[in-house]
Structures are given as C-alpha cells and as structure tokens.
Amino acid sequence: MTLGFVVPGRLDQLTGGYLYDRHVVDGLRASGMAVDVVELRGTYPDADVATRRAAADALARQPDGRTVVIDGLALPGLVDSLSAHAARLRLVGFIHHPLSLETGLSPSQVNHYAALEADMWPQLKGVICPSEHTAGAVRASGLPAGRVAVVPPGTHKPAGLHKRGPADDGALQLLSVGTITPRKGHVLLVDALAGLRDLSWQLICLGSLARDPAAAAQLRDRIADHGLQDRVTLLGEQPPERLAQAYQQAQVFVLPSYHEGYGMVFAEALAHGLPVVSTTAGAIVDTVPATASRLVPPGDVTALREALRQVMTDAPLRAQLTKAAQVAADTLPDWADTVTRWAAALDEVSR
C-alpha cells in the first residue's frame, strides 16, 4: 500500500508541525510502507486562487481508494475540491492545531477559518491530533469521537544532561524556541523582562524571523524601545545540532504562547531538564506538569514577570523544577513509539 501525505510547501521546514510530519513519514518508510509526499505550491494558510487550483490538481492525481493524509495547514488550499474527492479517497486530517486560534487574526479571519474547518473536518474519514485539547476542538465540529485519534509527538532525549551554571558574568541563561509570530508571545516576553533589569540575565531566541516579517520587525522594535539589545539575541532558525546545544547551555526555558496545539519545544525543554516558564494556553498544561514549571494566564505581562522573577532569583526552586522536569521527561514517548502509535491510529480512523 502507498500512503499519500499532503503538506503545504516543503516538508523539511523547521517548525513543530513539519518536524512531526517528517518524523512520521521517515518512520513509516523505515517500517516498509511506501509514502508519496505531495508538497503543495502556493501561499498558506491564506490560499489564493492559484494555490487552490494547484492543490485541487494534486489531489485529483491521487489514485482511487488511496489513503491520503492531509496536514491541517493545507486544508484552505482544498476548500473548493475536498468534497469532490471525499468519496473516492480515504482522506485523513493531521490537525496540529485549529487555524482559527492563531494569534493576531482579525475577527473576520477568525470566522473565516473557523467556518472553513467546521465544514471540512467532517468531510474527512478521520483525524489524528497531537493533543486531547486539539482533538476536543475537532470533535466539537461534529466529527464522532471514534474518528478522532490523539497521538502526542515523540521527543528526542539527550544521552546526558550537562551541569548548568550562570555565565561567566553571572547572568542567568534564558532560552526561547519558536517561530517569531504573534502567537508565540515574544513581544510580551520582552515587555516582562524589561521590568527585570535589576537581575542579571541573557535571553537567546531561536526561531524563524522570516515567516512573519511584520512580527519580527515588531519584536526588534520592542527590544530597541526597551534598550535591551545587549540582553536579547535573536538567532533566527537554527539546525538541530545548534538547537540541542542551546538547550544544553540554558538554565530556564520561557515561551509565553497564546495557544499551542501541543508544543514540541516544551517537551524538548523538559527532556533537557529545563524549568519552564510559560502560560496555561491550549495544550501547554497537558504537556508541561505544574511541578516542573510556572504557568501564568496568557497575555498577563505582570504575572509573567513575577513568575520569571521567582524562578530567576530562587536557586533552590530552580533545582526543584529541574528535577521535576527530568522526571517528566521519562514519561514522554520517543519517536519510534510515536510512529507505531500513529500508524495504528491511521488504520483505525481511516476504516
């Protein structure tokens, strides 16, 4: 059997969703399954006419009866054509998080994506989600529970953890990993840290600065407005080996997201024994245990600042959170387990 796997753009992009897609594709191929990856051309999720035409042509080329997995980000490109193929193909959605919950959308955009997904999700044979939180949103659209599966992504666990201490100048090393978009809360983080000038810290941000140029420009402006250019470093998108090094060198992980469908970077932080400062948004509370973190309401700059101050100034607390992170990491699935569970879920929801 050959499985179709449809993604918007290139599969080798370095975001959580694409990394999950690629691990699944590689794992299925390693198990002996043939996987035909279809990389759609065009603009996503705001799919214009040319994008929708190219996506429709790509789906039309899939042979009758084939099981075809569609990354949720690709659905806007298929809004005109999905129903025409729902009967002849076994269509399964891989929904990382609802598009309508992206931060920074106008009310009309929220309504547009919410209506689009509420119409398209029930047309699928089934759906696989990374978290119960996302699965709940899919079920609320009318898809029966038996057609919705939850398979959390795997986590790479380092062979050993380095003993961390402050930098040579005594500065605490903070790490934030995530594409620079409004949803990830980087501007809020800079605003919070601006009120902690009395403490010695350095923030390293890893994540693409090119996917949302307006958000990146706003972040740079905010850093300059607060005069924090010497404390906040934006490194952009980095290869996996550099990312692993950054986790090893950090002492605290912080990312105040407004929503997460799962949050692979939080699991990676736990796997590296890092205390987490974040929010209660989306599936974060399901991924990050309270024992290893300080979680605050999304968008609350005062609460975020106080959580950061507490973790940064209380060394025994950091040690306690670090130990709890290591315990939590032991419960996280590896990628081999995830691919096995994902394949079983695909078989179940595509029947």
Residue-level pLDDT at 167 = 54
pLDDT bracket for residue 161 (50, 70, 90):
low
Q: What percent of the chain is modeled with pLDDT above 70?
A: 97
pLDDT at 310 over 60: yes
pLDDT at 107 over 80: yes
Tokens of 265: 């970077």
pLDDT bracket for residue 162 (50, 70, 90):
low
Residue-level pLDDT at 159 = 75
pLDDT at 92 over 90: yes
Write the CB contacts of 137 (distance below 8 Å, at least 6 apart in sequence).
98, 101
pLDDT at 77 over 90: yes
pLDDT in tens, 265-279: 999 999 999 999 999
pLDDT at 109 over 60: yes
pLDDT in tens, 120-133: 999 999 999 999 99
pLDDT at 163 over 80: no
Residue-level pLDDT at 164 = 56
Report pTM.
Answer: 0.89
Q: Do the Cβ atoms of 83 and 25 come closer than 8 Å?
A: no
Residue-level pLDDT at 94 = 97
Q: How far apart are CA 232 and CA 271, in angstroms?
A: 24
Residue-level pLDDT at 234 = 98
Residue-level pLDDT at 121 = 95
Sign of the alpha-carbon dihedral angle for 223, 178, 275, 272: negative
| Phi, psi torsion values for 292, nearest 5 degrees | -110, 15
